[in-house]
Amino acid sequence: MPKLTIQDLAKMRDDARKHIALREGGEHRARITVHMGTCGIAAGARDIMKTVLEEVEKAGVGDILVTTSGCGGLCSHEPMATVELADETPVKYIDLTPEKTRKIFGEHLLAGKPIMEFALAIGSERRG
C-alpha cells in the first residue's frame, strides 16, 4: 500500500465524521477515565483499562462510558483513574492495581459508593 498523505488522512476524517452521529446516541450513567500518559502506561495503565473492560463485559452493562486521558500531573501515583457518576463529584483513584480496580468497579460504578481509602481527593483536573 502506498504511504498515506496528510490529505488522505483529512479525507478519511471527513468520511469518518459522517458516521460519528451514529454512535453518539445513548446516555451514560457513569464514566471512568483511565489516565494514559507516558507515566500511566509505564506504571500499568493498560492493564487497568483491560480490567475495566473485562468488568463491563462481566456485568453486561451498556451505560458506563470508559475513556482515557493524558497525564494528570501526579505521575508518582499512577496508575490513576477518575470515576464520575451523573450529578456527583468525580473521585480520583490512585496507585491502582487490577484488584483495586475490580473493587472500585463493583462498589462505586455499579453500587454508587466511592471507596475513599483508594481515592486521592475529590475533584478532577482541568479538561481540554
Q: Segment near other proteins (CB under 8 A), from 48-56, 83-91, 93-101, 111-119?
A: 48-56
Longest dimension (CA), the chain: 53
The residue (of 9 and 122) whose beta carbon lies closer to other proteins is 9
Query: How many residues at the interface with other proteins, by CB under 8 A?
Result: 44
Site for other proteins in 67-86 (CB under 8 A): 67-68, 70-71, 73, 75
- What stretches of the chain adopt beta strand conformation (E)? 30-35, 64-69, 81-85, 91-93, 119-122
Residue 46 as a binder of other proteins (CB under 8 A): the answer is yes
CA angle, residues 7, 11, 14, in degrees to nearest 5:
140
The residue (of 38 and 89) whose beta carbon lies closer to other proteins is 38
CA angle, residues 126, 77, 122, in degrees to nearest 5:
45
Q: Segment near other proteins (CB under 8 A), from 2-10, 81-89, 91-99, 103-111?
A: 2-10
